[in-house]
Amino acid sequence: MAKFELKLPKMGESVAEATITNWLKNVGDHIDADETVLEIATDKVDSEVPSEVEGTLVEILFQVDDVVQVGQTIAIIETEGGAAAPAPTKASAPAEAKVVAETVAVAQETVSASVDFSDSDKFFSPLVKNIAKEEGISVAELEAIAGTGKDGRVTKNDILDYVKNRGNQPQQVAAKVEAPKAAAPASTATKAAPVSVNGADEIVEMDRMRKLISGYMVKSVQTSAHVQSFIEVDVTNIVNWRNKVKNSFEKREGEKLTFTPIFMEAVAKALKDFPGMNISVEGDYIIKKKNINLGMAAALPNGNLIVPVIKNADQLNLVGMAKAVNDLGNRAKAGKLKPDDTQGSTYTVTNVGTFGSVFGTPIINQPEVGILALGAIRKVPAVIETPEGDFIGIRQKMFLSHSYDHRVVDGALGGQFVQRVAQILEAFDPNREV
């Protein structure tokens, strides 16, 4: 018999941990190769962990709701045949038991160290939180660090300096860690479920994804100074062109041609013209993104929201964009997105017009600095200018609603960017070949 360590696999370049949501196998169950053993969830998507080998599950090291780091051993599977390890002798059994006990202890210690920084009333950037998690810094310790950033925020240099000098102040750290223990009962009491007064109201706890979305939205509003610009766009040429080519396109490419890839193409072009919108903010620093990765907000069947990402969108032609949009949209609805599919966006687009909304005021997807909402396309009377004079005609029009972060994007840039998107759409060639 040989023992195989089932580890949490790498799920994407920026995914460092996951939460165990469900064990599909119990200790003693037989597992086939490639059979799913457990279900996990990252901060964006749910996923499954299959076994690489066939064998029997003999030990589970983490329980449901535990947070596990990528590469950590989460279970032990006993395999048959092959390069089997020699059976332990009676003398070595206690030693092996001690090793297993130490492994479990380390695993449990790691779980307890994976703290939820959303419990803090203070704002910490994703980079600072990642460093804190890697260094095993608790919420209490992080809150006690004197920040030198704006409004006293803890910067990257602040936390690195703290880690560097951490060993010189063990007693102080211990005192800081002890404080939350006494406050735990009060914290638990404030999170008690509400009670229906009349007995007729139904009280439903948010699911995991809705809690995450709720946290993201509140933090975004608290972080960014949201400003909106609106512009009306004549998309008559686009509507007529799509109606003309959509059937032949689907027959040739095997893909439906919606309006979304056309709009995504225009946004990618505008970002190349205005790279100041393709940035993110980290404390007092602006990060200029080299790649243009477009987030595409998508509604899920259960009413939740997810934002899959079209990587290097500016390098795709319209056919490639249509395939990417359809692929991500279909996998999002089917719950088949991989963690990496939702990582790395530099600018986000949301289609509020799907449900008939004319325009909206979308909330920025942090740490980006802008998000564009596409309104419903409507037939409206409009003034048409011609060399022979002006006249009234029926045109297909829509509104673009641009929310941007006024901390780093002023009205001129925010307005010019959405104006450029409108110009690209209105200049669409009705004779375009695809």
Per-residue pLDDT band at 108 (split at 50, 70, 90)? very low
Least Cα distance to 124 among 87, 153, 84 occurs for: 153
pLDDT tens column, 343-364? 999 999 999 998 899 999 999 9
Least Cα distance to 397 among 265, 246, 229, 239 occurs for: 239
pLDDT tens column, 193-216? 787 777 788 898 888 888 888 999
pLDDT surpassing 60 at residue 114: no
- In angstroms, the CA 209 to CA 309 distance is 18
Residues 79, 55: contact at Cβ < 8 Å? yes
pLDDT surpassing 50 at residue 306: yes
Per-residue pLDDT band at 255 (split at 50, 70, 90)? very high
- Which ranges in 285-373 belong to alpha helices (H)? 318-333
pLDDT at 211: 87
pLDDT-wise least confident of 47-51, 154-158, 328-332: 154-158
Beta bridge partners of 79: 2
Q: Which position has the higher pLDDT, 273 or 152?
A: 273
pLDDT surpassing 60 at residue 150: no
The angle formed by the CA atoms of residues 90, 96 and 102, to the nearest 5 degrees, is 150
- In angstroms, the CA 57 to CA 29 distance is 6
Q: Which position has the higher pLDDT, 121 or 201?
A: 201
Per-residue pLDDT band at 172 (split at 50, 70, 90)? very low
Per-residue pLDDT band at 130 (split at 50, 70, 90)? confident
Tokens of 201: 């109201």
pLDDT at 158: 82
Q: How many helices (H) and strands (E) does the chain have?
A: 10, 19
pLDDT at 85: 42
Per-residue pLDDT band at 128 (split at 50, 70, 90)? confident
pLDDT at 116: 61
pLDDT tens column, 381-428? 999 998 999 999 999 999 999 999 999 999 999 999 999 999 999 999
- Strand, coil or helix: what is 177? helix
Averaged pLDDT, 80-96: 48
The set of catalytic residues is: 406, 410
For residue 312, CA distances in Å to 294, 320, 332 come to: 8, 11, 19
Q: What are the phi and psi torsion angles at 18 (to 5°)?
A: -150, 160
Identify the sign of the CA torsion 150, 152, 154, 160.
Answer: positive
* Rounded-to-10 torsion of CA 184, 190, 191, 195: 140
> What pTM did the predictor assign?
0.65
pLDDT surpassing 90 at residue 365: yes
Identify the sign of the CA torsion 339, 283, 129, 210.
Answer: negative
pLDDT surpassing 90 at residue 39: no
pLDDT at 117: 62
Residue 367, preceding bond cis, omega within 30 degrees? yes
